[in-house]
Chains A and B, each alone.
Chain A
C-alpha cells in the first residue's frame, strides 16, 4: 500500500468522513509507525505496530451545548426579536460551553451567547449560535424542531482575533436522553411517581440518593442536620468546593445534576424525639425510607414511625472501620423490625462504624474518648449499593419490570457483607476467597433469616404479652397522680 494507491485514497476519504460525522465507518485510520504516516485499513484487520486514530483525535473544535427545552420555552421571544441572549458556563479555557440552564451547578466562568435566527449579526458577538431553517429533520444533534414544527439546524461560532472559529453544537434534550439509557431495565416513567425519604446523608446515604436519581426516581425528601466538612470529602459524594454547605443542599444539587426534573425537599434537622411530629408526615408520604444513620436512637425512632405509618424501611451501616457491613429491610409487622433485630442480634446491632467526632462523642465519656475510626469509602460503597438496590425494589413494588426476577434473591430480612477477615471478629478465620467453595468469605452477600418477635415492643403485641406473663390486668392499673 502506498499513498498513491487510489483504493487507499478512497478508504482514507471514507474514514475521514465517518470521523467527521462521528459515526462508525467500514474503514478506519491508523498511524503506521513504520511508514510514519496515516493509512486506512478495513475494519477488523490490524496492521502491526499501528496506532488507532479515532473520532477523539479529530475533535479539534470546542463544543457548545444548548438546552432544547429552554429554547422551546424562549422560542416566541426569539421569533419576535430575531436574537436572544443566553448564559453558558465556559469550561477548560473555552473547550466546552454548557448552557447554564441545563443543570443546577454551572461553573465559575460565565460567557454570554447570542442566539439568532439570521447569520449576520453586527458587531459580531464573541459567542453566537445561529439557527438556519431547513426542510427536513436530520440525524445530527444540532437539529431543532420549533414549537410550530419548523425545523432548524444550529451552527455556532466563537469570534476571536477578528475571525470566526466554529464550535460543534449540540441541542440537548435531557429527559429523553436519560430515559433512553435506562430503557429495557426501567421503563421511562416507572419511577416518576415514587417518593423516597432519606434519613442521613453520609457516605452511604449520599451515594444511595444519587444512584436512585440516576434510576429515574423523581421525588426526594432529604433529612440531615450536618454540614459538609473537609474531612468528609474523602468519603462523601460532595467535593471540596462545597465544604461548609448543609449536606441536604450538596446532595440536592447532585441529584439535580443527575435528574434535573427531580423534586427535592430538604429538611436540615436531626432525628430526635422532639422532631417526630415534623418527620411523621415525611414518612407517611414516602414509598420507602432509606436510613443511613449510624446511631441507634435515630434508627429506633425511624423504626417506630415507619411501623406506625406502615412504610417499608431499609437500614444500612458499616461495622467498625468498615471491615464489613449490614443491611436490614423492615416490612412493618411482616418482617423483623430494628427493635426485633436489637433483641435477636445485640452484638451485630451494636457494631457500628465511628466515622465522625459526633458519633464518637455519642458513645464516649468526655474523660474517656472513643477514637474516630472511619473505613474507606471503597468499603462503604458495597453496602450502600446493596441498600440502594433493596430500596429500588421497594420503589418498583407493584410495577412489572425486568428486575422482578430479583425478588426471590432479596427475600431475607438481614444481609451481611465482609470486606476483610478483621482480627478480633468472628470472621478472622475465614478461608481465602479463592479457596472457599461453600464457607463464608469476603466479598459476598449473605442473606440471614431470623424471626420477628411477636412480643416486640415496637412491632408486636408487647403490652398484652408482658402483662399476661406477670398476671397484670392492664385495664385496672391506675397510675398515681402527683403535683
Chain B
C-alpha cells in the first residue's frame, strides 16, 4: 500500500527528527499491519510529560497527518472540563478528538497543509501547544490567547 517514495520520505522524516535534535520523537513501523506512526514523549518547561502520537495516513505527505495527545487522557481544562468534550474548538486549538478520547492538536489546517511540511515542524507545533495549555491551566485564559493562530502560519 505504501509507495517506495512514501517509505523513503518516512525514512527521511525519521532522520530529520534526529538531525533537528527532536530525538525524543521517532517514526515507527508497525509490521503487523504495515503501518507507520510518529510519536514520543514531550516535556513541558514546567516538567510535565505528554505523549504525542501521529498516525501516518495513507496519503502522506500529500494528506495531512493528525496529531493527538494520548497521555494524559483525558486532558482537562481549568474547572475540570474535558477538552475532548468541546469537539472542534478554536478556544483550545483542538480538532475532532480521537475515538479513544485523545485531544487532537490543531497544527496545520487542511487548507494550509502541503507536502513541504516536515514532521519535526508538526511536533514543534505540538510543543508550542503544550506550553500554551499549561499557561491556560495556570491563568484560566483560553489556550488560543497564547498561540498565534496556527492556521495562519504556513
Which positions in A face B, CB cutoff 8 Å? 272-274, 276, 295-297, 300-301, 303-304, 339, 342-343, 346, 350, 352, 362-363, 365-368, 456-458, 462-463, 466-467, 470-472, 474, 477-483
Contact = CB atoms under 8 A, between A and B. Distances in A.
Contact of A483 (B30, B57, B111): B30
Contacts of A462: 115-116
Given A339-B116, A343-B114, A474-B11, A458 B28 contact: no
A231 B151 CA distance: 29
Contact of A463 (B5, B31, B106, B116): B5
Contact of A474 (B8, B87, B88): B8
A72 to B, nearest CB: 51
Query: Counting chain A CB atoms within 10 Å of each CB, which of B14, B63, B89, B91 scores highest?
Result: B63
Contacts of A368: 90
B49 interface: no
B89 A296 contact: no
A301 B59 CA distance: 8
Nearest to B96: A366
21 contacts: A273-B63, A274-B59, A295-B111, A297-B110, A300-B114, A300-B115, A339-B114, A342-B114, A346-B154, A362-B110, A363-B151, A457-B115, A457-B116, A458-B115, A479-B29, A479-B36, A480-B27, A481-B30, A482-B28, A482-B37, A483-B30
Interface in B56-91: 57-59, 61-64, 86-91
B62 to A, nearest CB: 5
B124 interface: no
B87 A366 contact: yes
A480 B111 contact: no
A483 B32 CA distance: 7
Contacts of B154: 346, 350
A467 B12 contact: yes
A456 B28 CA distance: 25
A463 B9 contact: yes
Query: Counting chain B CB atoms within 10 Å of each CB, which of A365, A472, A481 scores highest?
Result: A365
Interface string B86-115: 111111000000000000001001111111
A304 B9 CA distance: 15
Given A296-B110, A481-B29, A367 B62 contact: no
Question: Can you list the 9 inter-chain pairs with the closest CB atoms, starting with the nearest?
Answer: A273-B59, A365-B90, A482-B28, A368-B90, A477-B11, A457-B115, A273-B63, A366-B88, A472-B15
A367 B112 contact: no
Contacts of A467: 12, 15
A472 B10 contact: no
A352 B57 CA distance: 26
Interface in B11-45: 11-12, 14-16, 19, 26-32, 36-37
Contact of B62 (A301, A366, A483): A301
Given A303-B62, A365-B90, A462-B116, 11 more contacts: A273-B63, A300-B115, A304-B62, A346-B154, A456-B116, A457-B114, A457-B116, A458-B115, A477-B11, A479-B11, A480-B26
